[in-house]
Structure 1
């Protein structure tokens, strides 16, 4: 069947039947792209309707046809709930095809014609199912190469299956060694598959063809870096698009190829994480994190020699304030005490009461309880590899500095330990992510690096931490920390205090002590973010953060600079980079630190 004989009439206008293709009666052309065709046909042998997927061009040699059939048959053996089972693979006059049972459902094109504006959660569910099947196929060494709106089959129960795997195969010269080029072609085609899935998500959410093109391959050719077009989800959509979903969709089609999802599995994780959070069933990354907490703890201890932390060590004779000061230098131990004490309060019926003072926590559980808490911690660096351990050490040093700054900035009369722990808890999601999901943390950091400037955009903005977390996890880091704090049984008032002030929200004067503590800790954390900027932007970043909170907290630049650099009296003095605190460097035991304190 020469390509010139394929009708161009839209499917809706096709008479029945049109013409024959072997034993098949061609009833409607469902899709015609640059690489493939999809027909609705009647199988005269079995008396049932099928969907026939075939390449747009006939294989150019007997060897090419043999290779096509071999790859299609290998793809048929890849079985997954989201990959449509193949009805038949064959060829008619050297035109190969893959047939699927029409009873599997309708194409996405047909669903969108019938239901023009699905809800964002439904759209994400369809695409997530597609990505699950596609990821499985990619991991088995296969690619699709021509994902279109007709590549998705949706049944009455919204179950999605992918059709057309290995139909649009790479076109090589007739005399090529197919075994030598297939592996490279599959790897490159798999990344293009993921990009096309991102375009599908954009198409469904926006309610209109991307760049006014129905063939997604034409869209890919127009996009940067090949072409000049940018594809971002617009603001005029049939339904409001939640920020996390918008960030995921925009990352999938980012103008910078390095910023996009390269693996279907990564794309699926972000989309599924948002779906689980949106459905409020505590799924996605939150469930994975809580599971890891059971096996690896929240953080590894940065203090060695805990086995010597016994009643015979003489610590029981020390003042509670000195002991709590040492405990606060170990983040893991501080959090473990908070978790144990507040969980005990919850179990004993003290609902809503929260202990955020290490001295009181030690008094409640005693030295034996402190010993048990210390023994429950994983030694540094836990399961982390050296590079990831170093990244966690640097993050912990930065958080420690934020706690010190918050204590310096707190209004008179507020407990320093409480301010310290609130500032620490505002970073809980970031710390847990770096410890339990270091690869995801690295992805988020990479997405926050500004893209390379172009003539059209000489100063491209960097992706915010929140948007980057949405794009990788499907939820923000505050949500991770809040889920763990809730799991530990911390009270509602604390749950509010550990939420950082939104960067795009105005800072209003505090109405309560809880507001004052939350804003003080938020300011300290924003100051640390400013110090992490490139050198030329640090001072402006510090000044901007100070202006945001100045009226609400009654602070000026002099107090902020003094907190950042204790002992400095000149407000114009440059802010120093955060120093590496002792808490971040594993080494001395609590007993040794007490001894050193006594000798100083």
Structure 2
């Protein structure tokens, strides 16, 4: 049996741009790990040698339930290595390819956990830079783990290429990354949005046949509306995804935490509707301290709701669901508080004059016979600014029907 330092190599798990990953046993602790080794060829290049070290240091500073745990980093026989927890489960790529029958509420629960992991990494100054379905694993216990911060760097230092080779997966790359511009946490927001899009529709948002075609679409074209591909997705959920995919970073969500809060509300509403769950409850049991904190906030939220302070109750229940995503009581209260807020909005005036003119203009641009790229752009903006407008709903139904007919032919 081959050995590497104190590790006994059991079998090969995979190979990527940075090196090879093996299943290995730690001879000191007897623990089975995923052992990632920088390839000898790359290790000889000082720049990549240093990048691997930065990667390891960045991940080593992260400690979160939704991020893979790093046990050990070092060098042996002239090669750098990183020993990580060995994970069992399916990554999103395999779930998408198998067209796994996961209930919509469970899909959103997975997305909420992805947001939590990335928000934590961003709070520590780490940008992933290569979010893709293959880097997100759903364990047998329902817990999501974000893998391979192989292109992660402290936010302020970034490049897109090395000798003309793109660093990052083009299908999910943010426009600014594709153009070699500065990358920050909003780039991860875009990439996560592309992953969310595919997980909800089973189709990639940008589907060029060549690398350059994909990059062109990412930079210039809008993705087909989510609701065209999957009419079962709630309009609010589709709007979240399309906002994540805005070309201009300033128009996206500023932080993954904000995405997670919106998705938590949507998840609560889906759970309240009684949808069947196809996944087990996620994660390890809460500590007594965390459970007590969550319970205290639930009681506070209930008091706020009874006092007519629905907005504050929503904030409290969002925090509870951040601590304990499986809290049915918090989900119920969040749904009730959200309904009260929606009832209040329903009694308020509709779109202002400027917004109404913009909606009318976009509806005209989305009419049959127009350029398809222009139509997709118009529909994407309509979903963002007027998701509840009956004219927008009708337009989405028409496009969904045409898309379904086209696929049948």
Q: How far apart are the structure 2 equivalents of 1:464 and 1:297?
A: 29
* Aligned counterpart for 2:374 among listed residues 457, 466, 473: 457
1:277 corresponding residue in structure 2 = 269
Which one is further off, 262-271 or 161-170?
Answer: 161-170
* Aligned counterpart for 2:228 among listed residues 223, 230, 235: 235
What is the SS of the residue equivalent to 1:235? helix
Give the structure with the larger strand fraction: 2
* Aligned counterpart for 2:11 among listed residues 27, 30, 37: 27
Q: How far apart are the structure 2 equivalents of 1:213 and 1:47?
A: 47
* Aligned counterpart for 1:198 among listed residues 172, 190, 193: 193
Structure 2: which 5+ residue stretches go unaligned? Answer: 164-179, 274-296, 314-342, 395-409
Distance 1:133 1:468, change over 3 A: farther
Distance 1:114 1:502, change over 3 A: closer
1:39 corresponding residue in structure 2 = 21
- Whether contact under 8 Å (1:50, 1:99) holds in the other structure is yes
Task: Give deviations 1:459-512, integer Å, cap 9, x for gaps.
Answer: 963767774476xxxxx7xxxxxxxxxxxxxxxxxxxxxxxx945689xxxxxx
Q: Does residue 1:265 correspond to 2:265, yes or no? A: no
Aligned residues: 304
Q: How far apart are the structure 2 equivalents of 1:208 and 1:26?
A: 36
Q: How far apart are the structure 1 equivalents of 2:14 and 2:258?
A: 30
- Whether contact under 8 Å (2:127, 2:152) holds in the other structure is no
Q: How far apart are the structure 2 equivalents of 1:235 and 1:90?
A: 49
Distance 1:296 1:134, change over 3 A: closer
Q: Does residue 1:139 correspond to 2:123, yes or no? A: yes
Distance 1:504 1:140, change over 3 A: closer
Structure 1 position 261, deviation (Å): 3.1
Q: Does residue 1:165 correspond to 2:149, yes or no? A: yes
2:215 corresponding residue in structure 1 = 221
Structure 1 position 71, deviation (Å): 4.8
Q: Does residue 1:73 correspond to 2:72, yes or no? A: no
Give the TM-score of the pair, scaled to structure 2.
0.56
RMSD: 5.2
- Whether contact under 8 Å (1:51, 1:100) holds in the other structure is yes
Task: Give deviations 1:414-458, integer Å, cap 9, x for gaps.
Answer: xxxxxxxx999611899xxxxxxxxxxxxx99x98989x998539
What is the SS of the residue equivalent to 1:90? strand
Alignment of 1:113-124 (within 5 A): 116-124=100-108
Q: How far apart are the structure 1 equivalents of 2:223 and 2:270?
A: 28
- Whether contact under 8 Å (2:190, 2:246) holds in the other structure is no
Bigger Rg, which one: 1
Q: How far apart are the structure 2 equivalents of 1:44 and 1:38?
A: 17
Point out which structure has higher relative CO (alpha carbons under 8 A, 6+ apart): 2
Distance 1:27 1:423, change over 3 A: closer
Structure 1 position 205, deviation (Å): 1.6
Distance 1:424 1:83, change over 3 A: closer
1:249 corresponding residue in structure 2 = 241
* Aligned counterpart for 1:426 among listed residues 342, 347, 359: 347
